[in-house]
Amino acid sequence: MAGFLGNLRDKVTGMVGQSGPVGSAAPDAIDPNAPQILMSKDIVKEGWVTKQSRNIKEWRRRYVVLTNDCIATFKQGAAGESYALKDATELIFFNSALAVKSAEQETGKDNAFCVQRTKDGRYFYFVAGSQQDKEEWIGAIGRLMVRRTVIMDPEEECNY
């Protein structure tokens, strides 16, 4: 599955952060021949959060799906489903360096956190339903970022 998402990520790298049709993540940038579904078996974490919109900066309730390769937001969702990327309102791929941190001071909202895409400095702000939920999102995203930056030789022994 990593190959599928890697190929898809390569196809849509330029679309993230661009304005697309209302309610979509620029579906014209997705290769119509590539698989376009996030399967439930590939989901690391999912759930409802409030997200700041990219253009108007309004706070909107979104269903967020975290995979090994991306963060995708949707207007609708439920645990255990598959998701079509063409229905995503935002796609944030891990192909560029990211940072994740608490953002309560920046937003003035409790349980806020943000993901920063370092290639263009773009911030994506989210508000979780509770402090525990915020910590779980930050931890899950942070672990995926670390996993992607650690490259180990399979023959190398780890002694820690």
Of the two residues 54 and 104, the one the predictor is more confident about is 104
Helix, strand, or coil here: 75?
A: coil
Res 102 pLDDT > 90: yes
CA distance 63 to 108: 22
Cβ 4 vs Cβ 10: under 8 Å: no
pLDDT bucket at 39, cuts 50 / 70 / 90: confident
Owner of token pair 């909202």: 109
What's the pLDDT score for residue 117? 87
